[in-house]
């Protein structure tokens, strides 16, 4: 059974104000299910089948005329020029919520929509369910290791499909279909090896020359391939935060896999127990924390404003969030016991930025506060920003 998604009221509100709404996100994140449940009166049409796709490309005006009363148009990235013709139609009739568009390649798709439907279309993002959304399934993950290993793609939880099997099929489909749509990559095996190398570097600063060298490709190819992973919502690049925006851009970003289950699959972790003593458990947990707080922002309809903090003299903080004119700094620790040194980086950062809110997400069960730092269990991660800001 479909679960209620946190984005639902945001999507409904957008459809009350704009004639078109674009919902982006990775494949299988639940976009179609959400749109069909909210807009049951709309005709549903997918551009995945070749005949429908060719119809929209060859005769866009005729295609739009067929669905003039309102439609959910799925996988709209397959006919990017359609947005230009939709502009003409919504200018003729600006009735809110007529066209609900979905797509799973953010760069080219959002650029096309921004150019053609500027001011006429709301753009929202649906990622796989957050931890609090996963609790709405019949059998949610029982503990932290299972949560990290299973990941959050809804079909795994809704249909009880073994995560390793489903993720293997998902990744194969992604490489065979989406990658070939974006790039003309002749050697898909090399690309697959590159993605696995990226999984091994989750929660690390990106060194494209080193990454490309390990994958046997050039620096420019590594940059291009990493952009493809980001376009497909497999990874998130977290820029370094700095008060000087120019410096923020030139400092090395951190790489994070958005779905911990996919990272585990790519790292050949085949059971939750393997994570208990795995050398990358802390990195996978950090990426999970970043992904959960990314979902906290984008599923509320906000632009993602996530960074990491690093000084050349050594001070590092895993995550810095900007929201509503305020800043939140967060450390991620997968251990079940809070150690005193977990709090040190945040206390030092607060000396530099006195107005910052500071917190820790850790693998234990009890909330604690030490001085200005609030530590919460991993299960309460979605509550952390509100608790810190209240």
At 173-200, the pLDDT tens digits run 887 777 776 776 767 888 899 999 999 9
Cα distance between residue 114 and residue 103, in whole Å: 14
Greatest distance between any 2 Cα atoms in the chain: 66
The residue-averaged pLDDT of 25-53 equals 95
The residue-averaged pLDDT of 108-129 equals 82
Residue 249 has pLDDT above 70, yes or no: no
Of 17, 45, 49, the C-alpha closest to 32 is 45
Looking at domain 131-278, its CATH class is: mainly alpha
Q: What stretches of 67-114 adopt beta strand conformation (E)?
A: 71-74, 99-103
Residues 187, 235, 282, CA angle at the centre, nearest 5°? 115
The fold adopted by the segment(s) 298-389 is: Trna Endonuclease; Chain: A, domain 1 (3.40.1350)
Provide the residue ranges of all domains of the chain, joining segments of one domain with +: 8-125, 131-278, 298-389
Of 338, 317, 337, the C-alpha closest to 328 is 317
Residue 127 phi, psi dihedral angles, 5° rounding? -95, 170
63 versus 78: the higher-pLDDT residue is 63
Tokens of 19: 């004639």
What pLDDT shows up at residue 1?
A: 73
Show Cβ contacts of residue 16 under 8 Å, excluding neighbours closer than 6 positions.
Answer: 96, 97
38 versus 185: the higher-pLDDT residue is 38
- Using one digit for the tens of pLDDT, what is the confidence trace for 332-351? 999 999 999 999 999 999 99
Q: How confident is residue 107, by pLDDT bands cut at 50, 70 and 90?
A: low
172 versus 179: the higher-pLDDT residue is 172
What pLDDT shows up at residue 372?
A: 85
Q: How confident is residue 78, by pLDDT bands cut at 50, 70 and 90?
A: confident
Question: How high is the mean pLDDT of the chain?
Answer: 91
The fold adopted by the segment(s) 8-125 is: Rossmann fold (3.40.50)
The residue-averaged pLDDT of 272-298 equals 97
What pLDDT shows up at residue 244?
A: 67
Neighbouring-strand partners of residue 21:
100, 122
Residue 312 has pLDDT above 90, yes or no: no
The residue-averaged pLDDT of 153-168 equals 95
The residue-averaged pLDDT of 98-127 equals 82
What pLDDT shows up at residue 219?
A: 93
What pLDDT shows up at residue 114?
A: 64
What pLDDT shows up at residue 111?
A: 66
Cα distance between residue 157 and residue 238, in whole Å: 28
- Using one digit for the tens of pLDDT, what is the confidence trace for 202-245? 999 999 999 999 999 999 999 999 988 998 899 999 999 987 65
Neighbouring-strand partners of residue 310:
316
Cα distance between residue 29 and residue 15, in whole Å: 20
pTM above 0.85, yes or no: yes
Show Cβ contacts of residue 347 under 8 Å, excluding neighbours closer than 6 positions.
Answer: 358, 371, 372, 373
Q: Which helix (H) or strand (E) holds 330?
A: strand 326-333
Cα distance between residue 321 and residue 319, in whole Å: 7
Tokens of 388: 């810190």
Q: Which of the residue ranges 93-107, 240-254, 268-282 has the most confident prediction, judged by mean pLDDT?
A: 268-282
CB 385 within 8 A of CB 293: yes
Q: How confident is residue 144, by pLDDT bands cut at 50, 70 and 90?
A: very high
Cα distance between residue 76 and residue 104, in whole Å: 8
What pLDDT shows up at residue 108?
A: 62
């Amino acid at each position: 059974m479909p679960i209620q998604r946190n984005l639902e009221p945001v999507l409904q509100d957008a459809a009350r104000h704009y004639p078109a709404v674009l919902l982006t996100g990775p494949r299988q994140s639940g976009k179609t299910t959400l749109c069909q449940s909210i807009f049951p009166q709309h005709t549903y049409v997918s551009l995945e089948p070749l005949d429908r796709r060719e119809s929209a490309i060859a005769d866009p005006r005729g295609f739009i005329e067929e669905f003039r009363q309102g439609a959910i148009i799925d996988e709209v990235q397959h006919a990017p020029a359609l947005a230009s013709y939709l502009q003409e139609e919504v200018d003729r009739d600006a009735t809110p919520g007529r066209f609900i568009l979905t797509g799973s390649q953010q760069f080219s798709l959002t650029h096309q929509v921004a150019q053609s439907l500027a001011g006429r279309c709301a753009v929202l993002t649906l990622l796989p369910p957050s931890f609090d959304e996963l609790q709405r399934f019949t059998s949610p993950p029982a503990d932290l290791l299972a949560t990290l290993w299973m990941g959050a793609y809804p079909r795994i939880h809704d249909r009880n499909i073994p995560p390793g099997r489903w993720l293997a099929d998902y990744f194969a489909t992604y490489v065979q279909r989406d990658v070939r749509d974006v790039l003309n990559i002749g050697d898909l095996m090399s690309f697959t090896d590159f993605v696995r190398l990226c999984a091994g570097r989750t929660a690390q600063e990106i060194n494209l020359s080193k990454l490309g060298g390990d994958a046997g490709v050039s620096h420019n190819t590594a940059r291009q391939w990493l952009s493809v992973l980001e376009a497909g919502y497999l990874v998130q690049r977290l820029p370094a935060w700095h008060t000087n925006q120019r410096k923020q851009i030139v400092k090395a970003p951190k790489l994070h896999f958005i779905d911990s289950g996919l990272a585990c699959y790519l790292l050949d972790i085949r059971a939750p127990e393997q994570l208990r003593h795995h050398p990358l458990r802390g990195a996978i947990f950090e990426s999970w924390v970043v992904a959960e707080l990314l979902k906290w922002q984008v599923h509320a309809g906000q632009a993602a404003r996530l960074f990491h903090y690093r000084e050349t003299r050594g001070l590092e903080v895993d995550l810095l969030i900007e929201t509503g004119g305020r800043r939140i700094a967060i450390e991620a620790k997968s251990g079940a016991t809070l150690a005193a040194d977990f709090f040190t980086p945040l206390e030092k950062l607060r000396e530099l930025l006195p107005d910052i809110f500071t917190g820790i997400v850790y693998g234990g069960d009890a909330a604690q506060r030490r001085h200005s730092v609030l530590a919460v269990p991993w299960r309460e991660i979605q509550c952390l920003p509100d608790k810190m800001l209240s």
